[in-house]
Structure 1
């Protein structure tokens, strides 16, 4: 039998294991239940992939992340390792064939979501497989106290009855002490070997700055550190806005969010990975499986939802071991915005019940029916029809998705088909009478020569590029041509595929899961309080605050975070700074940013000193936000 290191070298082309990987693999090979708590970037997948390759049989990998499953299967297949994933949307007949392949086709890895285990026939088929290892990824999902609880994870422990001699390997990147105990109990791990990599990232400087102008501070940071950077924002609009603002300042910037097509995601990702773009502005849809070693800076310009997510996102910088910066930029209104964004949009039981009933009505699902039915779904249209707030509705649907009641699979596609209804000579006549439309129409005719004979799939972005026009201009002209009877134009815009996993039972369905909803809502409130404490705490080492949250006690300050640097710095003498500011204001009126540039002092000290000068009636603020000396 090949050794673990030989397998690593043969398939993954690495000469050495990372910290703890070898020990975890040995534990699994010895048949022990194993629990590995490894922060993001620690190489968790190697811990089950290598031992599974060393033993006869197939490794069952349970994961809630469809994108990650697909990514890992694709990477294994590239290495000529046989692997498949049973993801949503696969028809029963195809699933039977895939499971036959697992049983008789010498496959090494079967990936599936925990919800799949709730199907009795799938569970029966799995019982017949020669399993050598059961790996549970994102194991914190089994805990009601975890930040992403999924009740389907509670069913995993039943596999112990069918495979008593097959070791369980539980893997997670973030877990508090309470969640750790929950994972061991709920998965039924038997005296597990426990491996925990320290949450300390000694090379990351955790910085929090309260600023008036976030864009100006981002500009300063990116100029000072021109290496690859990530800026995390909370929504798609912010992605586009910040990217455009940075481009206008001369930075090569791109963006990434869940609303992009797979092709756009890949294109923008490659721009950043190849360093044609210095910075990528992203929502939390970005990051899964990203392993770029030389990221220098991660910047959050809006507050994260919880410290688990923040730690994972912050940990995407400095993986090459060099000093890196995780920066949070805050302003006084951020805590109110976070409250509105995370807490005020949480659905209660009454709203969840009403939304679920309306959703079933929307798709005309009768009581007692609907199981395995699949629909295309436009969230905005649904909310508009019933007068529901969009974010609260989305949160309610995500909750039902996590409970396994339905599957909400983002698609974000616009499918367009066109066909000309008039002969080519009439089209040419129209072009001569409408010269402003000429470039666009010629681009269409050259690209789609068969557009007269049949309905033709149409690529908006391609025609926009070929005609050198904006997408909105193309859409306007297509609509105009449709109204004039020149073309048939069909546009189908869906932002999700929705699959109902259970029959409709209205209140009975919701009553069954409502206790989890209350727990989840209370947990989210506590988590936001922890984030606010992290942001507002000015004296305790920031690295120490994070470590304490995850149950890791340390007496040593990191020495490089904003709070540690603040302790080291000789405190600015307010009187000296007041004099410096007044000297500059005698020459010309200045805003706070200009004062900071000229005095080269900390923004917090400047704002404090300006406030004192205002209170003492020494200076005043003019309508253009510049300070001037009072006469």
Structure 2
């Protein structure tokens, strides 16, 4: 067995690499710039984590996803691999200490957000590190044609000057041919070795159905095809409501979104991962770091903003190679809802200016100040105070995040302050009786020296990192200390955290980035049109349709998607059903559930018959999701 396979087995307990992981790893070990296009779930992270373990020195990983960086660092530490992440919320002094640790502490991987490369002094510090590989995750962010363009990524190419002999590894899960070529150009990859894993998923059936009653349709599918499932919905409110509706009709379900506390996220995730709950109802905040191979069905109750997102979310089904289903349910009102949710709420330059100034005013950031300052932030409270539309404001903040002006962490956060209300000797007595809590308590005292004298703000992530625990473990210890009367603990909840990555400069700041705003808005409109075209498609195999979108041609139809199955059904098989439907609708407008109960037909046969009548323009689907004669 090779050294690569030894490492794979020892640290990850995998017997073999997936294609094309080993070839990518060998390419970077041979010193080549390398481009890897691997669909979600393809194991991109191992392509730089294995070389990190194998070689002396450090792998620099550039990623815009703070939650993913934290998740990977936690996972690596559990595998006995030293790793750290530098994100927008780390102050200058703490950052300097982290870089010292990276240089002298035997670390293998250093994760950093692209915005940090804007700071010349950080780049100077990076030059002193023993870096042997630079990995660029989410590499499509470097392209203006990519679905998540971030100007900060354009600075990455400057590292070529400082590390001329260090190979670059560009990785992405979604890139058209145009984006792929742009990535290679913008990152200045030198004669890169190219590796592409096919986007084809032969075991995954892509189904699109015009289901007016989505819960009823889902209930029937889950009873017919039992197994762990995910239901994606468009907002947090719908998460709890949909999970409640599923529970009410006898299907066990839980929910997940970015507004949950870390403890609640772990609890809900555990219920689903351990299959105590069959269905996870979630927003698109659910997905990063999810490794569950036996997901049978992924539903989308609402249209996604683009096919890139849809492919990644749908692709969480069937990773074990067994037959699985990606079901997109689209009714008459979904098109208008999607346009209102994704297009009508896009900010223009004037609105962006308003949001930025009011944000600075609300957080009391003076002109010329704010660099590296972090604030708790509640979006609804902010919008209510200044009478701003919530979705449009959120999109403006997301744009400012992508441009690197600020970092918006959408994870639920608690601003904690505490004070010890007993003598220090009693604290030492507690740690001697509870040795499992000692590392956290001692770290807390060392990092927050004023905690005996006054209510002191606590940085949970710092305490967790320095004590070797997790944020959840730190919170558990704090609540235990509170229950036993050792501390006074106050928590103020926020639904996000904001970190300013540069000083406040009002119009000059907005003028610098607004040139990207119009092109990004246009791209989003085009992407939604691609989604609408996909849902309206009745002629081309859904699998081939998606592959063509990503620049991959497939000769054969998949034979298992909704389009292929409909093509296989002959009108003879439907028998008298179309006429029976027309007869029933002649009496009154009816929903699909009412028609199902009236005619007692299999779901797929009834849906095909309704689709046939819709295409023949003999019936129509009303806004109230009932069918009517034309």
Decide whether the 8 Å contact of 1:578 with 1:613 is kept in 2: no
* 1:492 Cα deviation from its structure 2 partner: 3.3
Query: C-alpha offsets along residues 119-156 of structure 1, whole Å, 9 cap, x if unaligned?
Result: 11111110001111001111111111111111111000
1:605 aligns with 2:627: no
Please give the alpha-carbon distance, in whole angstroms, between the structure 1 residues aligned to 2:237 and 2:587. Answer: 41
* 1:495 aligned partner: 495
Q: What TM-score do you get using the length of structure 2 for normalisation?
A: 0.83
Q: 1:414 offset after TM fit, Å?
A: 6.0
For structure 1, the 5+ residue unaligned runs are 419-453, 458-487, 616-620
C-alpha distance 522-613 of structure 1, shift in aligned 2 (>3 A): closer
What displacement does 1:579 show? 5.2
Q: Which moved more, 1:192-201 or 1:572-581?
A: 572-581
- Which structure 2 residue ranges, 5 or more long, are not aligned? 419-453, 458-487
Contact kept, 8 Å, 1:300 with 1:327, in 2: the verdict is yes
1:298-341 deviation per Cα after TM superposition (whole angstroms, max 9, x unaligned): 00010001000000001000111111100001101111100000
Distance 1:189-1:595 versus aligned 2 partners, 3 A rule: same
The residue that corresponds to 2:288 in the other structure is 288
Whether the 8 Å CA contact 1:581–1:599 is kept in 2: the answer is no
In the alignment, structure 1 residue 368 sits paired with structure 2 residue 368: yes
CA deviation profile, 1:571-608 (whole Å, cap 9, x unmatched) = 25888225545898999998642432413332352476
Change (3 A) 1:16 1:490: closer
Name the SS for the 1:221 alignment partner.
Answer: helix
Aligned-partner Cα distance in 2 for 1:590–1:403: 49
The residue that corresponds to 1:147 in the other structure is 147
**Distance across 2 between alignment mates of 1:411 and 1:43:** 24
State the structure with more CA Rg. Answer: 1
Kept after mapping to 1: 8 A contact 2:140/2:175: yes
Q: 1:104 to 1:589 in 2, by over 3 A?
A: closer
The aligned runs of 1:382-531 (5 Å cut-off) are 382-413=382-413, 492-531=492-531
C-alpha distance in 2, partners of 1:557/1:614?
Answer: 29
Map 1:552-571; keep pairs closer than 5 Å. Answer: 552-571=552-571
In the alignment, the residues of structure 2 paired with residue 303 and residue 142 of structure 1 have an alpha-carbon distance, to the nearest angstrom, of 26
1:299 aligned partner: 299
Q: How far 1:559 sits from its partner (Å)? A: 0.7
CA contact (8 A) 1:28 1:169 kept: yes
Native 8 Å contact 1:592 1:607 kept in 2: no
What is the match of residue 256 of structure 2? Answer: 256
Q: Distance in 2 between matches of 1:377 and 1:121?
A: 29
CA contact 1:2–1:54 (8 Å) conserved in 2 = no
TM-score by length of 1: 0.83
Between stretches 172-181 and 80-89, larger displacement belongs to 80-89
Aligned length: 559
Aligned-residue offset at 1:263: 0.6
Displacement after TM superposition at 1:494 (Å): 2.0
CA contact under 8 A between 1:152 and 1:403: conserved in structure 2?
yes
CA 42–564 in structure 1, closer or farther in 2 if over 3 Å, else same: same
Could you tell me whether the CA contact under 8 Å between 2:90 and 2:372 is conserved in 1? no
Question: Aligned Cα RMSD in Å?
Answer: 3.2
On the 8 A contact 1:233/1:239 being kept in 2, the answer is: yes
Query: For residues 49 and 415 of structure 1, do their structure 2 counterparts lie closer, same or farther at Cα, with a shift above 3 Å needed?
Result: closer
1:210 and 2:210 correspond: yes
Shift of residue 175, structure 1, vs aligned partner: 0.5
- TM-superposed CA distance for 1:389, in Å, is 0.4
| Cα offset, 1:72, TM superposition | 1.2
Query: Which aligned pairs between 1:175-324 and structure 2 lie closer than 5 A?
Result: 175-324=175-324
